[in-house]
């Protein structure tokens, strides 16, 4: 599959791998961005710039507008989202939590996969088939 590159956000890295309440994925905005268009998956590294998504590992960031230079820390464990003004700067730090009961990025072969949603369709009227024999 050929897709465009995301240049408005930069994955800085994964920090404190396997350390409870500290394991986190760090991003930085390289320009103003609406985070509601982005999601995060976990993948198994296949090579430089390639990964295969791990099943059932998806996080939507929620709606927020980041300015150039803002940071996002995604902690893998539980917690409350918060926004912090960084000292001596106009930059903000957005801390969000995946809500997992335990760390899951201890292996360096597991990598964050950031993606941008280009289009979506939500079912309006979902038909339900009758149960067999009913």
Q: How far apart are CA 127 and CA 106, in angstroms?
A: 42
Structure tokens, 18: 């396997």
Backbone angles phi, psi at 90, to 5 degrees: -90, -5
What residues contact residue 115 under an 8 Å CB cut-off, 6+ apart? 6, 38, 39, 40, 41
Nearest to 26 by CA among 116, 81, 94: 94
What residues contact residue 4 under an 8 Å CB cut-off, 6+ apart? none
Three-class secondary structure of residue 36 per DSSP: helix
Q: How far apart are CA 71 and CA 93, in angstroms?
A: 5
Backbone angles phi, psi at 37, to 5 degrees: -90, 0
| Residues 68-111 pLDDT 10s | 999 999 999 999 999 999 999 999 999 999 999 999 999 999 99
| Residues 17-38 pLDDT 10s | 999 999 999 999 999 999 999 9
pTM, two decimals, is: 0.88
User: Which helix (H) or strand (E) element contains residue 40?
Assistant: strand 38-47
Q: How far apart are CA 72 and CA 40, in angstroms?
A: 12
pLDDT category of residue 1 using cuts at 50, 70 and 90: low
């Amino acid at each position: 599959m050929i897709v465009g590159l995301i240049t408005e956000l930069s994955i800085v890295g994964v920090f404190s791998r396997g350390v409870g309440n500290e394991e986190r994925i760090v991003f930085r905005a390289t320009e103003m961005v609406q985070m509601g268009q982005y999601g995060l998956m976990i993948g198994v590294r296949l090579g430089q710039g390639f990964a295969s998504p791990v099943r059932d590992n998806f996080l939507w960031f929620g709606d927020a507008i980041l300015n150039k230079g803002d940071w996002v820390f995604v902690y893998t464990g539980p917690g409350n989202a918060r926004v912090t003004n960084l000292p001596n700067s106009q930059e903000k730090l957005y801390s969000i939590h995946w809500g997992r009961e335990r760390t899951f990025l201890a292996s360096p072969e597991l990598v964050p996969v950031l993606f941008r949603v280009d289009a979506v369709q939500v079912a309006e009227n979902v038909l339900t088939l009758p149960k067999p024999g009913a």
